[in-house]
Amino acid sequence: SFLELFKRPCLIGAHRGSRALYPENTLCALEKSIGHCDFIEIDVQLSSDKILVVMHDDTLERTTNIKELDAYKSREPYKVSDFSYEELSTLDYGSWFYSDEIKPEPLLTLKIALEFIKENHLFINIEIKDIHNSFEDKEVISLVLQEIAESKIKDHVLISSFRHQYLLLSKEIQPDIPTAVLVEKKHPKNLINYLKSLRVDAYHCSDKLADEITVGNLKSTGFYVNIYTVNDPIRRQQLFDMGVNGVFSDYLE
C-alpha cells in the first residue's frame, strides 16, 4: 500500500505535479514529474454534473483561459462547481502558465490521472478540496472511492483533505486506503487523540507548523508526517533530520 512508501526515507511529493515548471494539475505536469519524485499530489473537486476534476482553486480564472472566452462572459465568478464536465472540457489549462508561448493542456479528470498513475506504477496523494457545500460530503467521498476502485489502484493511493470529516468517512467505507489530515494555520487541540479519532494514518501540515516536538510526538505514536510546501533544499534537509517522512515540493530535481 501507499504506507509501504513511508519505509523509504526523505520522500519527495510533486506538489500539484511539479507546478514550478509546468502548469499545475495537468497531465503534462504529472508526466514531467516521473523519475523526479516518490509520489504525486493532485487536488480534486466536483463539476456541476459530479465528475471529479483535477483543480486547485474553486474558480477557473487563474488556471484556464476562461476570461478570454465570450461564451462564458456571464458566468462570473467562474466557480468550478457551476460548470459541467462538457463545459470544463472546452477550456485550456496550459497556456496561462507560459509567458511567451501558447501550449494548451486539456482538462484533467481524476479518472485520467489514476489511469496515468497505474500505467506508470506511481503513487498518488489525492487531496479532496473542501469547497463543495452544495454536495453531500458522503457523496464526494464515495465518488472518489468509486474511481479508485474502478481503476484498481487502491494500493497506490493516499487521500488527504482540509475537511477532516471526509477522512473518517473514507475510512468507514474503505479502511484499506490510507488517509491524512491536512492543516494550514494551527495544530488541532489534543493532536494525537484527534488524529486517532479520525482514524487517519498521516499528518500533513504547512512548513510553518513543523517543529521538532510535534514531529517527534507524531512519529512516536505511529503517524507519518509530510510537510508542504518546501522548495528550499536546506529546509528540506532540516525537516528530514527532524524525522519528517516527506515534503511536497513545487520544484523537482
Which does residue 116 bind out of Mg ion, ligand G3P, none, counting CB within 5 to 8 angstroms by kind?
Answer: none
Q: Is 127 near Mg ion (CB under 5 A)?
A: yes
From 19-27, 35-43, 100-108, 185-193, give the range in contact with Mg ion by CB under 5 A: 35-43
Nearest-CB residue to ligand G3P?
228
Comparison of 206 and 238: residue with beta carbon closer to Mg ion: 206
Q: Is 43 helix (H, G, I), strand (E, B) or coil?
A: strand
From 41-49, 58-66, 173-181, 199-207, give the range in contact with Mg ion by CB under 5 A: 41-49
The contacts of residue 72 (CB under 8 Å, 6+ apart) are 66, 78, 87
The contacts of residue 32 (CB under 8 Å, 6+ apart) are 17, 18, 21, 22
The nearest distance, CB 86 to ligand G3P, in angstroms, is 26
Provide long-range contacts, Cβ within 8 A and 24+ apart, for 29-33: 30/108, 30/113, 30/116, 31/116, 33/252
Q: How many residues bind ligand G3P (CB under 6 A)?
A: 10
**Quick one: how far is CA 182 from the chain centroid?**
10
Among 42, 43, 87, which residue's Cα sits nearest to residue 64? Answer: 87
The nearest distance, CB 247 to Mg ion, in angstroms, is 13
Q: Is 204 near ligand G3P (CB under 6 A)?
A: yes
C-alpha cell recorded at residue 47: 463539476
Q: How many residues bind Mg ion (CB under 5 A)?
A: 2
| Chain residues that interact with Mg ion, rule: CB under 5 A | 43, 127
